[in-house]
Structure 1
Amino acid sequence: MDALFDAIRRELEIGDLVSLSASQWEEIVSSYRKFATRCSESTLRDACIRRLERYKDLFKQLFKLRVYKALDREGVSEDSIDSPLLRLILKLVEDYVSTLDEVIADERGKVYAIIKRRIQVGKVVLEPGELVLMDLMEAIALSSFGYVELLRLPSETSKGYSWMRAERVHTE
């Protein structure tokens, strides 16, 4: 279980998000599984199970710390084994926050989305380029996986719309 403790220690010591290699990940998982196997054969099963639960809780805390660091820095390194998952979480947060002022929604909270990849929702097949109205959470989830793009209106707080903050032309 030293692998997990080492990963937690490194994550706490270093301010930036630490890269977690596939071999480090395998070592963490392997040591957990080895201990779980020994627990199943142990006469002190209850104590073993409590220790396994603590190990899982520590792993959860490590993941939460990594998510927090990714959110705080708004970025993820490419070489970490959990980079795709952390990027997905960042995309979910970005899309959810953009619903405040950029995403076009109707009075029921449904949002407009442009289909990017062919998808079947219920019995309806949606093709790329179609404009649809869908539930906010559904649209955010599909956007995170690249199936839809939320229809957005630029606002002064939008990233990529610096032209809106440019000096205004005064007409008199």
Structure 2
Amino acid sequence: MPEGFEGRINIEGKKGFIIRGWAPQLLILNHKAVGGFMTHCGWNSTLEGVCAGLPMITWPLFAEQFYNERLVVDVLKIGVAVGMKEHVLKTEDRPLIHGIDIERAVSCVMGVGEEAEAMRKRARELGEMAKSAVMEDGSSYTELTQLISELSDLHP
């Protein structure tokens, strides 16, 4: 960490804190103080963000992450891209994402106005749908139960 960084983050224990090591992502995403999620768009993180009902700032790096970004930004309309356009194998060859691009994305997700509020509302609604799908009698619960039953019937 740069010298003085922790002091700028943790002012009298009121502004923020630094987690060293593995962070409990699900607990963090589901905390009432979290208003958005910057993600690399890996499938698990994407699902965790959707289930938490959060709008997302997308920053894919490789593989299917660019497809997941399109789902979040263009289909579900609950995200804003920082501008990473293509997979580059070597880290040192990746294009630089400028702070102004990150600031723009954060402002779009956390800002005021009809578009930002509509994105947050869609994200919350998708989160509720995801939670209800895994509850008893929800679509995912029912389909998984049916699959287990069918597989069990194959080997009595």
TM-score, normalisation: structure 1: 0.23
